[in-house]
Amino acid sequence: MIKVLVVDDSKVAREMITHILTADPGIKVIGTAADGYRALAAMERQQPDVVTMDVHMPGLDGFATTREIMREHPVPVVIVTGTLDPKADTAVFRTLEAGALAIILKPPGFGHPDHARAAAELLQTVRLMSEVKVVRRSYRESRLPSPVKPEVTAPPKLVAVGASTGGPVIVKNIISSLPASFPFPVLVVQHMAGEFLAGYAEWLAGACELTVKLGEPGETVKGGSVYIAPGGADMGLDGRGRIVLTPGAPGQLLCPSVNHLFRSVAIQCGRHAVGILLTGMGNDGAAGLKEMRDEGALTIVQDEESSVIFGMPAEAIRIGGARQVLSPGNIVALLKGLAGRLV
């Protein structure tokens, strides 16, 4: 039985989320809270397995509440919000930085044509996140990066990155550590509800010297820029270094797909590429990273110690897709080293 605490300042939203969750016989809502202070008190008394968290609440908001939960009673936190303003609202992504694991849109009301799909997504997310062992962890590495010798067979022209649960903050930490003069284009697939990806790109752009934007079809990729795969489309490259967006296939579970990006880069760039697979649940990206390695590319996975979930990196290691296993700090050091070779 998964025990859930529902936190939202709207009574209607609390009742709707509770109704959706309790329809699953494997989930029990053990309490609700209208603000962060009540949520923290409930954490003391009831010890839930998962917390669903609104972001904007009076008093202690979702960001501050999540930060306190991670400090005192670490459990998986799922952000359930209706906020979709990519330019004005960074609170959602700051809450990820505080330790929340996933973001989903608040389901629309009963009778809405999209209610069933959104309710199913909420249930699936709560089930999946309940399996994550959350510990008191910092994404800031206390030790200095170790010297890393990149195993390259040819000068790279492009960096491809894939990430899932726990990835948004790691991606931010990596690309925000790169200078504006970084000579390689960076293409990123981050598993996240598609509605939030524009806001994610804005959040990253505000933290980085590199240019960060959603990838657009036909756009020629260039150094010093980061291209985030938009929702609902797989992102790849054509033979001229232009972005190709392909609509997801019917029933495709993960779109954009890390495997799609890596396979496209393997075909178009061969050994002149770097593939990086970061923290995440499942195996998306592992097979594509193996294809990149088979073509001679430098392939890297995040190490277990720094990963929120080691699933995707572990699968890539298992099938022989990873040349190197590195911490985020060492990934940054390696990328800077590769860039320095061109100066």
* pLDDT above 50: residue 137: no
Contact yes or no for 297/273 (Cβ under 8 A): yes
Looking at residue 307, its amino acid is S
Q: In this structure, what DSSP letter does residue 110 have?
A: T
Q: What is the pLDDT of residue 139?
A: 43
Distance CA 338, CA 150 (A): 8
Look at residues 28, 27, 81, 31 and name the one whose alpha carbon lies nearest to residue 53: 81
Residue-wise pLDDT for 97-121, tens only, equals: 999 999 999 999 888 999 999 999 9
- Assign 273 to helix, strand or coil: strand
Tokens encoding 264: 């496209």
Q: What is the pTM of this model?
A: 0.92
* pLDDT above 90: residue 154: no
Q: What is the pLDDT of residue 249?
A: 83
Looking at residue 152, its amino acid is V
- Assign 242 to helix, strand or coil: strand
Burial 155-187 (b: 16+ CB within 10 A, else e): ebbbbbbbbbbbbbbbbbbbbebbeeebbbbbb
Distance CA 269, CA 285 (A): 17
Q: Give the chain's domains with CATH numbers.
A: 2-129 (3.40.50.2300), 158-340 (3.40.50.180)
Contact yes or no for 272/294 (Cβ under 8 A): no
Residue-wise pLDDT for 32-84, tens only, equals: 999 999 999 999 999 999 999 999 999 999 999 999 999 999 999 999 998 77
Distance CA 101, CA 103 (A): 7
Q: Which residue has the tokens 């209607």?
A: 12
Q: What is the mean pLDDT of residues 183-200?
A: 95
Catalytic positions, written as ranges? 164, 191, 284
